[in-house]
C-alpha cells in the first residue's frame, strides 16, 4: 500500500466514524469535541491525498488550500463545482484550526451534513490516479 492509498483509507475511516454523529445535536462536550476532531482530521486527510496526487503528477505547488482546489480543477482532476464546495470545507477547517472556541455545535453538524463532499473529492482523486496509471501502463505495454 502506498502513501496515497493509506491516506485514502484513513479518510474513509474518519468519514465512517463521523457518520455516527449524523443527526446528533452535539450538545455534549465529548460528542462536540470528538466530532470536531473527526471533521478536522477528515479535511486534513483530503488535503493530504490531494497533495500526494499533485506531487505524483508534478502539478504546481499551491500557496494555499483554496488555491489547491483551483489547480486541481484547472488540471481537470476535479470539477469546478466540486472545487467550490471543497473551498467551503477548507474554510471550515481553518475555523476549527484557528478559532476553535468560536465553532458551535451547529457548525460541526453542518460540516457533517456536507461530508459527502469529501467522499466525492476522494473518489475524483482516485479516478484521476487510476486513469493516469492505466495510461502509463498502456504506454509501457502492460495490462
Look up residue 65 and give its three cell numbers.
488550500
pLDDT in tens, the chain (143 residues): 899 999 999 999 999 999 999 999 899 999 999 999 999 999 999 999 999 999 999 999 999 999 999 999 999 999 999 999 999 999 888 888 876 557 888 989 999 999 999 999 999 999 999 998 888 888 765 55
Interacting residues of 115 by C-beta distance below 8 A, sequence separation 6+: 15, 18, 19, 39, 42
- The rounded radius of gyration (Å) of the Cα atoms in the chain is 16
For the chain, the domains span: 3-137
Q: What's the CATH fold of domain 3-137?
A: 1.20.120
Look up residue 71 and give its three cell numbers.
489547480
Residue 57 has φ and ψ, to the nearest 5°, of -95, 5
Residue 104 has φ and ψ, to the nearest 5°, of -100, 160
Using alpha carbons, list the distances in angstroms from residue 8 to 38, 48, 99, 105, 123: 15, 9, 27, 27, 9
CB 52 within 8 A of CB 7: yes
Amino acid at each position: 500500500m502506498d502513501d496515497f492509498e493509506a491516506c485514502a483509507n484513513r479518510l474513509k475511516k474518519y468519514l465512517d466514524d463521523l457518520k455516527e454523529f449524523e443527526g446528533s445535536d452535539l450538545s455534549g462536550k465529548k460528542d462536540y469535541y470528538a466530532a470536531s476532531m473527526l471533521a478536522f482530521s477528515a479535511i486534513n486527510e483530503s488535503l493530504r491525498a490531494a497533495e500526494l496526487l499533485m506531487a505524483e503528477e508534478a502539478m504546481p505547488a499551491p500557496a494555499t488550500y483554496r488555491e489547491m482546489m483551483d489547480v486541481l480543477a484547472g488540471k481537470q482532476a476535479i470539477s469546478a463545482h466540486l472545487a467550490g464546495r471543497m473551498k467551503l470545507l477548507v474554510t471550515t477547517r481553518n475555523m476549527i484550526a484557528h478559532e476553535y472556541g468560536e465553532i458551535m455545535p451547529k457548525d460541526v453538524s453542518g460540516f457533517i451534513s456536507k461530508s459527502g463532499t469529501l467522499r466525492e473529492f476522494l473518489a475524483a482523486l482516485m479516478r484521476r490516479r487510476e486513469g493516469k496509471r492505466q495510461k502509463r501502463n498502456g504506454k509501457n505495454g502492460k495490462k
